[in-house]
Amino acid sequence: MPAVGYVYDPLYLEHDVQGHPESAGRLRAIKAHLDESSLLASMTHLDPRDADESDLRLIHDAALVQRIQQTAERDLDWLDLDTYAVASSYAAALRSTGGVLSAVDTVLDGGLDSAFCLVRPPGHHATPERAMGFCLFNNVAIAAAHLLERKGLERVAIIDIDVHHGNGTQDAFYDDPRILYFSTHQYPFYPGTGELQQTGAGEAVGTNVNVPLERGCSDDEYARVYDQIAIPVIQRFRPQMILVSAGFDAHHADPLAEEMLSARGYYDIATAIKGLADDLCGGNVVYALEGGYDHTALGWSVRACIDTLLGNEFAPDPVGLAPNVQRPDIDGLLVAVQSAHGL
């Protein structure tokens, strides 16, 4: 059986505001489902460390770090209209980032084949200068920079499966040819970025791959995107590790978006990612939790991804497939993205 780890810490639950979509209830639901399914018993728990300022400064400027720390000291305050900080938020954010760092180090050093980081607050909207979109520090971007700057890797792929475009991750690496950033996202939608023409700058042209999808795309459309774009572009890049910004708000039950994925669709996406990792980088893949706001769909979708890491068959879920309605035609989009990236 593959050696798969997970990161979890109760401190992640203390970053919480009642009634906010990005609440501690999300992680409680995931943890309860994984406990009930006995999946966690098949995995190795990794104790997360706390990120320090030198970790954060791999991506973020000092003013942002100071602002988040000071905002959290006021017990409840808002960094933007969507993004809160409470007394425990700064500590939880340090441990969220540190949890992903612990996972990538353990996987890279051969202690595990792969890992899933059950961390929050999430990160992919956090830019080098700004916390936004429920995100404080960009966990995945910091982990990728850590691999490049400290661990000697030359190529890291970031696959973003959240329904919202990871503008913070794109900003962090837009001119860095060592990072391949691949994102599927509903468009136009928050945060308003992610056009297919945004392909990178300078020597990094071609390493920023956006697939902006219309509302209503289901498992079939996502499967075509992975078959025709994600797999060939990542195979060409040949990463030494794959990081996944694992948002599950493209699920058809999610209240904050309008795509039509199912848990089965997430299982198929994760199967494709595992195949890439096995072929290109010794199976080294680390997932970090991002969005997903229907608690039942979230728990089953996380489980679907973990099942692929463990080599398990898909476990049918009670939410099921999306309603059978007309789907958008993505033929033109696929051709346009392929043309933009020479596929």
Does 125 qualify as catalytic in the annotation?
yes
Q: Which of 15, 60, 124, 125 is catalytic?
A: 125
What are the structure tokens assigned to 81, written together? 């209209």
CA dist., res. 256 & res. 238, Å (int): 34
Give the residue from 160, 158, 150 showing the smallest Cα distance to 52.
150
CA dist., res. 205 & res. 302, Å (int): 32
State yes or no: cis peptide before 232, omega within 30 of 0: no
Give the residue from 143, 176, 182 showing the smallest Cα distance to 284.
143
> Count of CB atoms within 10 A of residue 169's CB?
28
Give the residue from 152, 160, 143 showing the smallest Cα distance to 58.
143
CB 241 within 8 A of CB 108: yes
Q: Supply the residues annotated as catalytic.
A: 125
